Structure 1
């Protein structure tokens, strides 16, 4: 028996962490095409997406802190 990650359709999810980072980056701006969104939903690993979102949020907060320090200081 071959385990395909619990998906119906026969093919396992195939994506890299870089693809997840790219999807999260564009999602922060809200500029995703519906076709890309559907492809991401079929291919991206949910754990990669969670990690990429946390990294993206940390970078965003870090940039905000740097901007505030530059303006105030």
Structure 2
């Protein structure tokens, strides 16, 4: 992306307005809609050099062990 702010489709169904930098990793916090698209509530550019294998493993663990990571409050 070359603009300060742009619409980015991170993956099919996840279109966000953001200030993400091309080539950097991004954190997207959102909600899955009934049509399986994602409403992005916040986005954050986390820079280059992010270990995506580690990020995927942590995400998998949060889904497997919700009692540790998810609060109903």
TM-score for the superposition, normalised by structure 1: 0.29
User: Relative to total residues, which structure has the larger helix share, 1 or 2?
Assistant: 1
**Rg larger for:** 1
Structure ranking higher on relative contact order (CA contacts 8 Å, 6+ apart): 1
User: Relative to total residues, which structure has the larger strand share, 1 or 2?
Assistant: 2
